[in-house]
């Protein structure tokens, strides 16, 4: 148990170091360009940390209570609401050509650092939830829940990038968000790009997570031999 706690702590430290590297690259870029143009990347990375923190809190609750308890449902809700922020950062690449800066190559490196860390945070929290699902359901049922979760994330990325809504708008402007979505659901043929965006992200995230899942399983099998 002590060794497991040590490994978990080291993993969180690694995520923290990766985050600090991203911030360090931003600060260097800001200094070189005398501009804080991409400062929103730091905020987006902060949002990407939230689902992992919520999933850890959920795991602590599940040690003593059922998933149907209000505490577990509360943290599950927060987790699924903020999880898309971890993968949303992939879409931030579109901002690379918006400004004339010292080096597009360096900015690409900086963006990749932020995005890589955010994806690692998102998949880490998803992996923790996946393990909890496997304790309660068959592997096939758990996989379906994960696929559905990634689909929800893909829809949320479209809502965030194309419709410009945020996670907290679910609480602060529920009516406006539902109205915007309902218009596209009623007239889907008028918004073909919606399906392209959603299913492209779903395919990408699903394939990335499947690769990660199999890699973890392979490593576990190699250690047991």
- List all residues 6 or more positions away from 87 whose beta carbon is below 8 Å from its beta carbon: 118, 119, 122, 153, 157, 201, 205
User: Would you say the pTM of this structure is higher than 0.85?
Assistant: yes
pLDDT digits 0-9 by tens, 116-174: 999 999 999 999 999 999 999 999 999 999 999 999 999 989 888 877 667 667 767 77
Residue 115 has pLDDT above 90, yes or no: yes
Half-sphere exposure of 203 (CA within 13 A, CB side): 6
- Residue 134 corresponds to which tokens in the numbers above? 């496997």
Q: What is the percent of the chain with per-residue pLDDT over 90, rounded to a whole number?
A: 66
Q: What is residue 102's predicted lDDT score, i.e. its pLDDT? A: 81
Q: Distance between CA 142 and CA 131 in Å, rounded?
A: 9
pLDDT digits 0-9 by tens, 16-25: 999 999 999 9
Q: What is residue 113's predicted lDDT score, i.e. its pLDDT? A: 97
DSSP assignment letter at 143: H
Q: Distance between CA 154 and CA 88 in Å, rounded?
A: 8
CB atoms within 10 A of CB 217: 10
Q: Distance between CA 8 and CA 118 in Å, rounded?
A: 18
Query: pLDDT-based confidence at 97, cuts 50/70/90?
Result: confident
- Residue 36 corresponds to which tokens in the numbers above? 């804080």
Q: Is 1 helix (H, G, I), strand (E, B) or coil?
A: coil
């Amino acid at each position: 148990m002590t060794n497991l706690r040590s490994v978990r702590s080291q993993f969180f430290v690694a995520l923290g170091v990766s985050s600090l590297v991203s911030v360090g690259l931003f600060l260097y870029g800001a200094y070189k360009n005398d501009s804080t143009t991409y400062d929103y990347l730091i905020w987006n990375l902060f949002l990407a940390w939230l689902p992992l923190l919520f999933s850890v809190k959920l795991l602590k609750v599940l040690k003593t209570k059922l998933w149907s308890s209000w505490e577990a449902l509360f943290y599950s809700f927060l987790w699924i609401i903020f999880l898309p922020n971890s993968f949303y950062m992939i879409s931030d690449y579109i901002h690379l050509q918006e400004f004339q800066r010292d080096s597009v190559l360096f900015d690409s490196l900086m963006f990749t650092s932020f995005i890589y860390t955010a994806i690692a945070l998102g998949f880490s929290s998803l992996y923790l939830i996946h393990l909890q699902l496997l304790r309660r359901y068959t592997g096939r049922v758990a996989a379906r829940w994960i696929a559905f979760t990634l689909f929800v994330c893909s829809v949320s990325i479209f809502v965030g990038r194309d419709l410009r809504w945020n996670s907290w708008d679910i609480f602060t402007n529920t009516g406006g968000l539902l109205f915007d979505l309902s218009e596209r659901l009623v007239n889907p043929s008028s918004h073909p790009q919606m399906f392209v965006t959603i299913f492209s992200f779903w395919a990408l995230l699903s394939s990335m997570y499947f690769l990660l899942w199999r890699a973890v399983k392979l490593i576990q099998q190699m250690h047991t031999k």
